[in-house]
Structure 1
Amino acid sequence: MFKPLRAVARAAAALAAALVLSACGGSPDDGHDGAGRGAAPAVGAQGINPQPAANVRQGGTLKLSTQTWITQYNEYQVDGTNGDASAILEQVEPVLMPKDAKGVPHPDPAYLRSAAVTSTSPQVVTYELNPKASWSDGTRMSYRDFAAVWRALDGHDDAYLVADSSGYDQISGVARGKDDQEVKVTFGTPYADWQRLFRVLLPAGTIDTPDKFNKGWIQRIPVTGAAWRIKSIDRTAETVTTVPDPRWWGTRPKLDTITWRALDQPADTEAYLNNEIDETPAILPEDYQRLVKAPKTDIRRGARWDEVHISLSSRGPLADVRVRQAVDLATDRKGIVAAFAKDLDIPVTTLNSHFFMPNQAGYQDTAGRWGRFDLPGARKLLDQAGWREAGPGKPRTRNGRTLTLRYVISSGSASSAVDQAQIVQQQLGQAGIQVVIQRVPQTDYFTKFVNRGAFDLTSFRNVDQVFPSQLFSTFQQPEGAQSYLNYGRIGSSEIDKLMTEASRTTDTARSDRLYNEADRLIWAEGHSIELYQRPQILAVRKGLANFGASGLGDWDFTAMGWQK
């Protein structure tokens, strides 16, 4: 699930959304060659106009947009993975360990005095909470909140419809330390990425039953615990208004108000030019050409973890792995990337990994055969699967059925998403696969289609997955009705075993090797087709400080504001 997507531990978004992003990389022959273009942003690059507090005036309003009206604000729930929802949630709830520009988490002293591994056999992580930290209902934050998050997410009860149980399912206990504000988290097996857990702390009383967890955050945020609070959630105007919380014990926010207004992406540029919002994506050429000329506008760029892919399902004809593999081979990824990047001023290359971006240390080309355009190979696989040619330009058939796949896109999709669907339609048609493009209401795209696996093909983005273990549930084998984030329900026990081994080692080199071994199997299963790492290019109102293209880092909602 998502722009202004920010630091979203688990975020995915339709191509219509301008989510959090990452830098491009790879060799020129991996995709569009980027001749005559500037370099992609380096790792750690941000475009936020950093300013000390003394240079930022007190007061003012920041107007932001979301790509759809948000229904579920619990980002741990399967329907809550929309990045805009996470951005709002993380404005008003504790983000215990925000990430710096290079994606490294650090304890926020407003919430944590310390967080560290205090034992290795077994692994124990000790959190010491700031004694001033409290919820908006007056309850002090404590080990009980950690315990409630763990119990909801550890996978012991399928009534909790969780997006991701990985990591939490390796915890053997959460206990009180020397007092209620010291938390002892004990792991049954070593877990290297412990810093990604409990990223957003939620109050125990709002998630301690399946009903509260699943339904208590629908179109509401019941309790807050940050520098900001919810003033109103206006369903009619589709606007969320936030204001500083006078009970806040930390640094006072610079701004008086931050509003979030639901807009289809095609309307974002017009809204920005009409001064209705203060930030908008500028990645599409037709938008960039207008926004770069707009008065009092900065074009800000950052390096973010952001990938675009095509998801496949395991239903209908795609239940046969040979058909999924044929779709893979019949998809000319370089052609799709070239079409997307033709008017950008930075290079974009094909992405050959599900777990790593090209500018990450663990990156390898794990696609192998499945990353190469091979139309004859695709046709051979379809022959083997029993789908017979019906003549030039006609779809294949088997037992009187036509080989037809539904490519589901949001009605609010940007032009690049529509173009991509049409390119795939044309490419697969050459192999005898008929693709029907189905537009669905933007508000239903994730909740009724993607999250429910009601598609044959679709395309959205995974973002901010700086820790490879964050992608565990994306490729994890579903269990019964629980699909986690593996919407197409494609996986294997071998993939799960390798990912589990990778998450349980603290040896980074071995972990990277295991994730890459798992990825080779993911490609072979036809789970999804990686396309490219998306650059982060935003138009931001000139004078906005500590705000914009945050790259691998998080926004600081207390520091952003208008420059003096």
Structure 2
Amino acid sequence: MVSQSAAPRTGSTDINEQPRSALKTGGTLNLSIQQWISQYNVGQVDGTQGDAQAILAMTQPRLWFLDESAKPSPNPDVLAAAAVTGTNPQVVTYKLNPAAIWSDQTPITWQDFATQWKTRNGADKRFQISGSTGYDVIANVEKGADEREVKVTFREPYADWQSLFDPLLPGTALDTPAEFNTGWIEKVPVWGGPWKIGTADKTAQTITLVPNPGYWGVKPVLDSVVFRALDSAAITDAYLNSEIDQAPGRQPDDYKRLAGAARTKIRSGGRWDLTVLTLGSKGPLADVRVRQAIGAAIDRDAIAKAQSSGLPFAVHTVGNHFLMPSQDGYADNAAEYGKLDLARAKSLLEQAGYAGKPLKLTYVVSASSTSTVPQLIQNMLAQAGITIELRKVPGNDFFEKYVNTGSFDLVSFRNVDQVFPSLSYPVFLSNGEQNYGRIGSPEIDKLIGQAAAETDHPKQIPLLNQIDVLLWQEEHSIALFQTPQILAVRDGLANFGAFGLRDDRQYVEVGYLK
């Protein structure tokens, strides 16, 4: 039996922080990813997969780095300065590093900002976007004092302006619908970050990043970072065979095998990491009573306890779609909508007309996942008379062909690093591009508009919690639990591991100790 301590607070980190002088020059970092990356354009509807976003961010200019509390500070390689320079209307002025250039040797200028705004604000429906939040309230993007100064004017106040244009993408590589939608399939056509894609071997399912020779800023210590698509079940063995240098210990069996491995340190932290059950709205699920019955039939505490077994930390339920426990403003808003009550579940099903006829639903599961959550939920819903078919689909198809297209009744996955509330708005707006279950309401939409425009953070928190209460009532999705970061990492690796809320993961400081 593993003795358990309190889970790391949200924001805590463990990365073996070291100065560059303590690191060897060169070396390779080998990492696993969930699937082969088919779409690298983070602004495109199929570009929301987390590994794709992480790899893209290494190859493109990052405007901001986040500290342990998720507070942004400018990346000096790209931003000389950025600030709100007007409040009525809100104006943000960016001053770019005059040395910043794209891989095609053109300078990074205000026009790249203008193109990102025009392609992602939702005005031109030919651009298949992943979300317009923030870009849709910009009135204009124009040249400032020179080509390297950008003046962004908003139609209404926008709190999370620092979440926009980051990473910045090359305007010339996505300014037409064809380039935007298909020009980034399985490739990064132009880059402007510290890394570039060296090789992409679809047969071996590996993507190798190498330093960008034209990068003007802080250059990587490592010679390469190799990403390899692996099924979850294969990751621990790959780590123990020294094929990769990091492996998650979130599952008890994995943790047990990894904790005693040679040349290994277990690093833990508190990341924004929420496992969520997303519900569809087709057929029986169009009735909110059926969705609420599902919420009443699920024992979230039992699911969290099952995830905790054999781990060094107890995994806890989360009662909020925007904030993690221990984050400022967190409130548990689940109420009866996230509480086990079988009698209530059966009553709601009777009211919805399922007293005598069976209710059968499909739960889409990635074949590469080792999570026990789908089986647990299947068993729980059976107690309320709901039959669940677990439909396993190929890991490479899970998001693109099923989740993103709304082809499910139930589906569960992890949402990570949603540290700006606005990153979640496209998930909850009724016409939001990432609202795959198509559940929402005019009231939720109105409150999201108010929260987005509230630049005073203490005043924004109550609005987020009001929205959250309504999300639970609608049973839009059921927040399940926060997973602590528990990672097995090669013991000689520095500036790498459990980053918590930190986001400076362009990996330029990662390396092996001398």
TM-score relative to the length of structure 1:
0.89
Alignment correspondent of 2:499: 550
Deviates more, 1:205-214 or 1:451-460: 205-214
Query: In 2 relative to 1, CA 265–53 (structure 1 residues): closer, same or farther, beyond 3 Å?
Result: same
Alignment correspondent of 1:453: 406
Query: In 2 relative to 1, CA 289–508 (structure 1 residues): closer, same or farther, beyond 3 Å?
Result: same
Alignment correspondent of 1:165: 132
Alignment correspondent of 2:513: 563
Which secondary structure state, in structure 1, belongs to the residue aligned with residue 413 of structure 2? strand
Alignment correspondent of 2:384: 431
Which of 361, 368, 382 lines up with 1:412 in the alignment?
368
Distance 2:506 2:175 in 1: 29
Alignment correspondent of 1:505: 454
Alignment correspondent of 1:379: 346
Is the aligned partner of 1:369 residue 2:336?
A: yes
Alignment correspondent of 1:356: 323
Alpha-carbon distance, 1:366 to partner: 1.3
Equivalent positions of 1:315-354 (< 5 A) are 315-354=282-321
Unaligned 5+ segments in structure 1 are 1-33, 390-396
Alpha-carbon distance, 1:476 to partner: 0.8
For residue 126 of structure 1, what is the amino acid of its counterpart? T
Is the aligned partner of 1:148 residue 2:115?
A: yes
Equivalent positions of 1:102-141 (< 5 A) are 102-141=69-108
Equivalent positions of 1:303-318 (< 5 A) are 303-318=270-285
For residue 430 of structure 1, what is the amino acid of its counterpart? Q
Which secondary structure state, in structure 2, belongs to the residue aligned with residue 443 of structure 1? helix
Alignment correspondent of 1:394: none
Deviates more, 1:444-453 or 1:37-46: 37-46
TM-score relative to the length of structure 2:
0.98
Alignment correspondent of 1:471: 424
Is the aligned partner of 1:253 residue 2:220?
A: yes
Distance 1:177 1:231 in 2: 35
Alpha-carbon distance, 1:79 to partner: 0.7
Which of 21, 24, 27 lines up with 1:57 in the alignment?
24
Query: In 2 relative to 1, CA 36–235 (structure 1 residues): closer, same or farther, beyond 3 Å?
Result: closer
Alpha-carbon distance, 1:556 to partner: 4.0
Deviations 1:381-414 (A, max 9, x none): 111111123xxxxxxx1xxxx4100011000011
Query: In 2 relative to 1, CA 35–384 (structure 1 residues): closer, same or farther, beyond 3 Å?
Result: farther
Q: Any conservation in 2 of the 1:341–1:347 contact (CA below 8 Å)?
A: yes
For residue 542 of structure 1, what is the amino acid of its counterpart? D
For residue 512 of structure 2, what is the amino acid of its counterpart? W
Query: In 2 relative to 1, CA 496–387 (structure 1 residues): closer, same or farther, beyond 3 Å?
Result: same
Unaligned 5+ segments in structure 2 are none
Deviates more, 1:175-184 or 1:330-339: 330-339
Alignment correspondent of 2:436: 487
Alignment correspondent of 2:208: 241
Distance 1:232 1:35 in 2: 42
Alpha-carbon distance, 1:510 to partner: 2.2
Deviations 1:509-535 (A, max 9, x none): 221111111111111111111111111
Alignment correspondent of 1:525: 474
Deviates more, 1:129-138 or 1:368-377: 368-377
Alignment correspondent of 1:31: none
Alpha-carbon distance, 1:332 to partner: 1.1
Q: Any conservation in 1 of the 2:10–2:272 contact (CA below 8 Å)?
A: no
Alpha-carbon distance, 1:540 to partner: 0.5
Alpha-carbon distance, 1:36 to partner: 5.3
Which secondary structure state, in structure 2, belongs to the residue aligned with residue 156 of structure 1? coil
Equivalent positions of 1:68-217 (< 5 A) are 68-217=35-184
Which of 520, 529, 535 lines up with 2:484 in the alignment?
535
Alignment correspondent of 1:302: 269
Alpha-carbon distance, 1:35 to partner: 11
Distance 1:524 1:547 in 2: 40
For residue 89 of structure 1, what is the amino acid of its counterpart? L
Q: Any conservation in 1 of the 2:2–2:311 contact (CA below 8 Å)?
A: no
Alpha-carbon distance, 1:251 to partner: 1.9
Which secondary structure state, in structure 2, belongs to the residue aligned with residue 236 of structure 1? coil
For residue 273 of structure 1, what is the amino acid of its counterpart? L
Q: Any conservation in 1 of the 2:363–2:411 contact (CA below 8 Å)?
A: yes
Distance 2:142 2:257 in 1: 55
Q: Any conservation in 2 of the 1:546–1:556 contact (CA below 8 Å)?
A: no
Equivalent positions of 1:271-310 (< 5 A) are 271-310=238-277
Q: Give the % identical residues.
A: 51
Deviations 1:234-273 (A, max 9, x none): 1121111111122111122111111111111111111111
Q: Any conservation in 1 of the 2:57–2:506 contact (CA below 8 Å)?
A: no
Query: In 2 relative to 1, CA 212–286 (structure 1 residues): closer, same or farther, beyond 3 Å?
Result: same
Which ranges of 4 or more aligned residues in structure 1 deviate by more than 6 Å? none
Distance 2:122 2:239 in 1: 43
Alpha-carbon distance, 1:221 to partner: 0.4
For residue 452 of structure 2, what is the amino acid of its counterpart? S
Alpha-carbon distance, 1:46 to partner: 1.1
Alpha-carbon distance, 1:423 to partner: 1.5
Alignment correspondent of 2:395: 442
Q: How many aligned residue pairs are there?
A: 513
